[in-house]
Structure 1
Amino acid sequence: MTVDAKDLPLHVQRDHFDPPAAVSALRDQPGLERVTDALGQPAWLVTRYDEAREVLGDATRFSNERVPAVRIPGTDPAVFRAGNLLMNDPPEHTRLRRLLTGEFTVKRIRRLQPRISAFVDAQLDAMAQAGPPADLVTDFALPVPSLVICELLGVPYEDRDDFQTRAGKQIDLTLSLEERGRVAAESRAYMGELVDRAFAAPGDDMLGMLVREHGDDLTRNELIGIASLLLIAGHETTANMLALGTLALLRHPEQAALVRDDPTATAPAVEELMRYLSIVHASVPRVAIADTEVAGTPIAAGEMVLVSLAAADRDRALVEDPDQLDIGRAGAPHVAFGHGVHHCLGAPLARMEMATAFPALLQRFPTLATPVDLDSAPRGRPSPATSPP
């Protein structure tokens, strides 16, 4: 099933790499826009950078926890909230995040660097052996973060394909709620098995460390929720960044060459690609805790607010020429990883994966190219890459 872009909610539409003109135009209008979310519920849409940070950074005015739970047939919303940082407010959110922060420090993530490099090299070796053409999504962008998250959570290698398939289906808007609910239940059941193994014999993976260090402070359902969130947040988003980030660089050969040849260009390139692409279209919805106001627009208690991360990261208040990809610009404090207490916990891991994968790919295949021009490709679907050895 294919969904036409114009049938999607306004805040998740794209025009190739860009937010649609209708969303960009909202930044130049006063106040906020009234829209509907993916489930048809009304919400206020924030499109400007300063107001995005205001909403995302104020958990005392805007709640994640009070957003009505999606009623997926056959699932218990209360169970699905347990351990999910994105569905909790302080102080519960603070408690959970404090227990997890130690696992995502830059120092601990650096311990994964050799394994990330090994996964990247193995996929590149397989691509070179198979020869052109190669599907960059299937052969590189999806497997690398899948292997990393499996390593992090202690998922057996033989379970990787099923693990990856379930992850993709849970965020596939072309599937019915019933189908996505069934897949989510299967995924939770599998995560439950991993958690039970960790309780029985804690290994060196993250679940094992959490059980050893915080086993008395986390329930089984909370550990399952944590693992489930990391699966989606740490897998699909990075896979999309690797695929679309490569495509964006190939559209700017001089910038791709810098990433390939200059190690000092890699970190700024990752930040600029994050800002330019803003892979996550919009924030998790917030609900106003009390009557308030944003950009002069009154928001009543209980009303929902969405932040268009893609629009905010293309705001002229953030950078000059925001619709241009420029990896040479000073790193802008984008909101692609969110902002405030819900800023992405796994950002150091995602950055390391991209900083490892982009230069390695471009060095191995310096003549990497797409078989068709992006402007002639179907909207919303990147073309497979041809990778001459």
Structure 2
Amino acid sequence: MTDVFTQPELLFRWSGEHPFVLAPELVRLRDERPLSRMLYPDGHNGWLATGYDEARAVLAHPGFSNRYELMHLPIPGMTETPPPAPTGDFLGIDPPEHTRFRKQLAGKFTARRMRLLTEQVAGFTADRLAALEREDRPADLMEVYARPIPALVICELLGVPLADRDYFRSLVNGLLVREGVTPQSMAAAWNSIQEYVRDLIPAKRAEPTDDILSELTSGDLTDEELAGVGAFLLGAGLHTTATVLGMAVYTLLLHPGQLAALRSDSELVDSAVEELLRYTGISAGTVRVALEDVEIDSQAIKAGETVMISMNAANRDPRRFVDPDVLDLRRDAAGHLTFVHGIHQCLGQHLARIELRTALPALLTRFPTLRLAIPAHEVPLRTEANMYDLERLPVSWEA
């Protein structure tokens, strides 16, 4: 192997042999050099972390920044420097600004509060199951089931009219980093979401209701910051859980033995959700930039150098998970990096778990003969973006 990895495009696609199988070159790199040099598309000579311990160490280290404008992106064709995070996007800022936002939001997404949502999630799920049953076969599970449930939940949480969810879905798609999407078009999509939320804020201040946006108006966030935070939460809540739910179903349909085990054992759902999160992931990875000279795994990372953390490779590291390429719903997959690690760990992870624990078994119980309606390799799974996107999931079943 060469000293510098020169194929960043392999980070954004699975092997051609089967969905969710890593490219052999990436596997070899992880096993031989879990923290290695990588040549970025814009010519930057940065780093790639593929090992679990190395990825976790970078994510936890305070010497790394998540500020967008400092990053070099490993995505093929993306050679422009990203703009700074817009107001309210606390993912793209560092402490102490990040801490101020996170403190106000953390109490709104506790595991306890999310558990209280279970009844509402179950109600939304039941409605979508009935809608799916009315569909002609084959039906698109993403359109009828996987996307509407998170949209209903996040709109309920934030106090957004449900009639606007399709509008938000189109705007959220414009925030995904992929071929043909420019920093300018992403900024336009963000501004449109922000503008809508900004229009909601006066009403929330005047007559607060039982939703997160109303609660946030009692804090010290400005209207501009509230609009940005609301836009960020809507974007994250609409897309990520929908994709994970769709990919979980897709994966189970590719593993009939594991699917049968989950159907027959209701006690398996918690470990099944964690294993499906580990196995499928949400994205190819995330990026950090060294603010100072940092040593990770005896490697000296210089200030200003970008590190790409490959979540897929780290979640398949045999040093952390036994037989990591095998889907095993009984595995203890706790500690996977799908929701990242450190101060930028996903704020909505508890909500995502509640939705998955509710929607997955309900679907499998209601449709015991559910199956893919097209060959597995024809399912349009897009992995070249910063977040994965399962465009369609055509399924069928026996009446």
Q: Same fold (TM over 0.5)?
A: yes
Mapped partners of 1:192, 1:301: distance in 2: 38
Q: Is the 8 A contact 1:27 1:47 kept in 2?
A: yes
Post-superposition Cα deviations, 1:118-167, rounded to whole Å, max 9, x if no partner, equal 11111110111124211111111111111111111111122111011111
Q: 1:201 to 1:19 in 2, by over 3 A?
A: farther
More deviation, 115-124/288-297: 288-297
Amino acid at match of 2:305: E
Q: What's the offset of the Cα at 1:305? A: 1.1
> What whole-Å deviation, never above 9, does each CA across 1:187-215 have from its counterpart, x for those lacking one?
12112112333223222111001113x1x
User: In the alignment, what sits opposite 1:321?
Assistant: 323
Counterpart of 1:9?
A: 9
Contact 1:237 1:280 in 2 (8 A): no
1:185 alignment partner, one of 182, 185, 191: 191
1:170 touches 1:184 (CA, 8 Å); kept in 2?
yes
Distance 2:393 2:51 in 1: 31
Residue 303 (structure 1) aligned to one of 291, 302, 305: 305
- 2 CA distance for matches of 1:369 and 1:66? 41
Structure 1: how far apart are the matches of 2:141 and 2:43?
Answer: 34
Give the conservation status (yes or no) of the 8 Å contact 1:56–1:340: yes
| Residue pair 1:67, 1:287 contacting (<8 A) in 2 also | no
Alignment of structure 1 residues 4-83 onto 2, 5 Å = 9-15=9-15, 16-30=19-33, 31-36=35-40, 42-59=45-62, 61-65=63-67, 67-68=69-70, 77=83, 80-83=85-88
RMSD, aligned α-carbons: 2.5
Change (3 A) 1:41 1:188: farther
- Structure 1, unmatched stretches of 5+, are 1-5
* Counterpart amino acid of residue 57 in structure 2: E
Q: What is the aligned length?
A: 374
Alignment of 1:79-118 (within 5 A): 80-118=85-123
Mapped contact 2:278–2:333 kept (Cα < 8 A): no
- 2:341 match: 339
Q: TM-score, normalised by structure 2?
A: 0.87
Q: Distance in 1 between matches of 2:68 and 2:260?
A: 47
Matches within 5 A, 1:329-368: 329-368=331-370
Q: What displacement does 1:46 show?
A: 0.5
- Deviation of 1:103 after TM superposition, in Å, equals 0.6
Task: State the 1:329 CA deviation.
Answer: 1.3
- Whether contact under 8 Å (1:270, 1:351) holds in the other structure is yes
SS in 1 for 2:372: coil
Name the counterpart of 1:209: 215
Match of 2:245? 242
Residues of 1 paired with 2:153 and 2:251: CA distance?
A: 23
SS of the aligned residue for 2:196 comes to helix
Distance 2:337 2:71 in 1: 25
Aligned to 2:274: 271
Structure with bigger RCO (C-alpha 8 Å, 6+ apart) = 1
Change (3 A) 1:227 1:101: same
- 1:320 is displaced (CA, Å) by 0.8
Question: What letter is aligned with 2:281?
Answer: S
Secondary structure, counterpart of 1:110 in structure 2: helix
Amino acid paired to 1:194: L
Corresponding residue for 2:387? none
Deviation at 1:375, TM superposition (A): 4.1
How much does 1:81 deviate? 3.5
Q: Which residue of 2 aligns with 1:145?
A: 150
Taking the aligned partners of 1:387 and 1:89, their CA distance within structure 2 comes to: 48
Residue 372 to residue 111, structure 1, CA distance change in 2 (3 Å): same
**Matching residue of 1:386:** 396
Q: Shift of the alpha carbon at 1:66?
A: 6.7
1:167 aligns with 2:177: no
**Is 1:259–2:262 an aligned residue pair?**
yes
Contact 2:69/2:83 (<8 A) preserved? no
In the superposition, the TM-score normalised over structure 1's length comes to: 0.89
Distance 1:235 1:302 in 2: 33
Secondary structure (helix, strand or coil) at the match of 1:330 reads coil
Pairing 1:131-142 to 2, within 5 Å after superposition: 131-142=136-147
Q: Which amino acid aligns with 1:197?
A: A
Shift of 1:98: 1.3
Q: Deviations over 1:61-108 (max 9, x none)?
A: 1111374379x9xxx955x44332211222222222111111111111
Q: Verify the 8 A CA contact 1:63 1:286 in the aligned structure 2.
A: yes
Partner AA of 2:362 in structure 1: A
CA distance in 1 between counterparts of 2:43 and 2:276 reads 31
Q: d(CA) in 2 for partners of 1:261 and 1:349? A: 25
Q: Secondary structure at the match of 2:144?
A: helix
Q: Unmatched 5+ residue regions in structure 2?
A: 1-5, 73-77, 383-389
Cα deviation 1:30-68 (Å, max 9, x = unaligned): 34131326x775531110000011000112x11113743
Indicate the larger mover: 125-134 or 344-353. 125-134
CA distance in 1, matches of 2:369, 2:168: 33
Contact 1:33 1:45 in 2 (8 A): yes
Residue pair 2:245, 2:356 contacting (<8 A) in 1 also: yes
